[in-house]
């Protein structure tokens, strides 16, 4: 049956497979599966090593493979003796890369240089040259790059504009993942050229000179749907304001994630989130709500209903992970506003003091809930009292997960 599936269908299936346990074995099944799985396997090979916690020595054959595809004159200029003959390699691996993660590529090249008997005197210059050559090769050979990451480097680095072919490829990027950025020249080029961004992730931008560039960038994005933030308290309000004050972002963004945010006292989080009229997915990971002052619930609800009648009307998923203390006031307001639209509530590794309150709010406000997961390992006595009556309050809820245990409706 699987042999009858078109290659494109197989590739779409393979994108959802785990790299170690399922994807790699697919390359060994038969010729069709091999040809369909290799492009997926090689779309982002560096991340499999770094985020998959693979041994660093697996980087060397990876870099060796890519270096074998450099033009002969470039190999000679960089004093590289290719390990493989291009003509003997079955696949043109650089064609398949879709994710340009500077950090992973840079660290991979650094490891390769450190294990190729390169003199410490020239290793710094050489790794920059090789890194530049590889990224240039990726830009030239791959037409499907859709994810891009810039990071701050302590070493001498190079500008994106120095890489042949980068400008035209940057303009095609669909997703951008921006990590620690310190090179204003690099990020300015990226912000000025990238107009098709759908997903933007910002992690600890210490350079306030980027604020105006980022503001213009956000205003220019007509397809921005996903944003992720991770900032220290002093920086967060400045960068967060760029988004909640943007008419463009507040009308297009559907997904917001906060990571390791310690929300400051002067932040009006609920008001700001209410501005995002298409918000569907809201996620907090390891955030601290403790600094948000007590909320005047009735006044807040009245003001939001009056000023932002569309607030949270499309919010269908709320996820809170690794929160030291769950702010019940904020959760109640979100449940109340999302109401019938809410389909999924997941609370992982959170400290829950008033579990029964949450259950009651769900019964009152969220009749269409389909997924409920609550995990608090500090409290092994979490229990839904009258669980059968609880299930009757919902139209589509077939089971709930409480501290890892499934409870079914029947």
With beta carbons less than 8 A apart as the criterion, state whether 174 and 143 touch: no
pLDDT per residue as tens digits for the range 301-320? 888 989 999 999 999 999 99
* pLDDT of 324 strictly over 70: no
For residues 337 and 214, what is the distance between their CA atoms, to the nearest angstrom? 31
Mean pLDDT on 283-300: 81
CA 209 to chain centre: 24
* pLDDT of 233 strictly over 50: yes
With beta carbons less than 8 A apart as the criterion, state whether 286 and 260 touch: yes
Neighbouring residues of 130: CB distance < 8 A, sequence distance ≥ 6: 67, 78, 80, 109, 112, 113
Q: How far is CA 180 from CA 43, 170, 319, in A?
A: 23, 19, 25
CA 129 to chain centre: 29
* pLDDT of 183 strictly over 50: no
Q: Among positive and negative, which fits the CA dihedral 12, 18, 24, 30?
A: negative
* pLDDT of 240 strictly over 90: yes
Mean pLDDT on 49-59: 73
* pLDDT of 230 strictly over 80: yes
Task: Give the pLDDT band (50/70/90) at residue 90.
Answer: confident
Dmax (CA) for the chain in angstroms is 75
Radius of gyration of the chain (CA): 25
Give the helix ranges, DSSP H, for 42-149: 45-50, 59-67, 72-77, 102-114, 120-141
With beta carbons less than 8 A apart as the criterion, state whether 317 and 281 touch: yes
Mean pLDDT on 102-111: 83
Phi/psi for 164 (5° steps) reads -60, 135
Q: Among positive and negative, which fits the CA dihedral 258, 264, 270, 272?
A: negative
Q: What is the pLDDT of residue 145?
A: 82
Mean pLDDT over each residue of the chain, to the nearest integer: 82
Q: Which residue has the tokens 């997961």?
A: 373
Q: Is 101 or 343 the better-scoring residue by pLDDT?
A: 343
Mean pLDDT on 355-360: 91
Q: What is the pLDDT of residue 184?
A: 44
pTM: 0.82
Q: Any idea of the CA torsion for 392, 378, 286, 198, to the nearest 10 degrees?
A: -30
328-338 and 355-365 helices cross at what angle (nearest 10)?
A: 10
With beta carbons less than 8 A apart as the criterion, state whether 226 and 200 touch: yes
H-run or E-run covering 147: strand 147-150
Q: What is the pLDDT of residue 24?
A: 79
Q: Is 191 or 132 the better-scoring residue by pLDDT?
A: 132
Q: What is the pLDDT of residue 254?
A: 97
With beta carbons less than 8 A apart as the criterion, state whether 399 and 406 touch: yes
């Amino acid at each position: 049956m699987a042999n009858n599936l078109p290659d494109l269908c197989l590739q779409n299936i393979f994108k959802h497979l785990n790299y170690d346990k399922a994807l790699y074995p697919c390359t060994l099944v038969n010729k069709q599966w091999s040809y369909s799985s290799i492009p997926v396997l090689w779309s982002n090979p560096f991340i499999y090593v770094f985020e998959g916690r693979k041994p660093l020595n697996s980087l060397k054959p990876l870099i060796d493979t890519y270096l074998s595809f450099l033009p002969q004159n470039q190999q000679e200029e960089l004093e590289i003796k290719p390990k493989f003959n291009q003509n003997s390699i079955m696949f043109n691996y650089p064609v398949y890369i879709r994710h340009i993660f500077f950090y992973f590529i840079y660290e991979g090249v650094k490891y390769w240089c450190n294990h190729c008997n390169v003199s410490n005197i020239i290793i710094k210059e050489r790794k920059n040259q090789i890194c530049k050559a590889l990224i240039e090769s990726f830009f030239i050979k791959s037409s499907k790059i859709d994810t891009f990451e810039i990071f701050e480097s302590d070493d001498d680095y190079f500008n994106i504009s120095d890489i042949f072919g980068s400008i035209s490829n940057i303009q095609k990027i669909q997703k951008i993942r921006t990590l620690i950025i310190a090179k204003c020249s690099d990020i300015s080029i990226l912000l000025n050229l990238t107009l098709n961004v759908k997903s933007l992730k910002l992690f600890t931008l210490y350079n306030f000179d980027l604020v105006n560039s980022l503001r213009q960038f956000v205003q220019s994005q007509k397809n921005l749907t996903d944003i992720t933030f991770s900032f220290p308290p002093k920086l967060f309000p400045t960068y967060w304001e760029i988004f909640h004050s943007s008419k463009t972002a507040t009308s297009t963004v559907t997904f917001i994630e906060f990571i390791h945010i310690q929300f400051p006292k002067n932040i009006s989080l609920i008001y700001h989130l209410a501005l995002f009229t298409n918000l569907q997915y809201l996620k907090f990971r390891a955030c601290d709500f403790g600094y948000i002052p007590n909320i005047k619930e009735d006044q807040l609800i009245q003001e939001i209903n009056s000023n932002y009648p569309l607030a949270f009307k499309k919010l269908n998923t709320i996820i809170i992970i690794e929160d030291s203390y769950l702010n019940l006031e904020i959760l109640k307001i979100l449940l109340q506003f999302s109401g019938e639209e809410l389909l999924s509530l997941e609370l992982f590794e959170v400290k829950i003091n008033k579990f029964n309150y949450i259950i009651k709010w769900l019964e009152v406000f969220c009749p269409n809930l389909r997924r409920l997961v609550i995990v608090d390992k500090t409290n092994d006595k979490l229990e839904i009292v009258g669980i059968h009556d609880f299930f009757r309050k919902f139209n589509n809820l077939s089971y709930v997960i409480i501290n890892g245990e499934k409870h079914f409706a029947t």
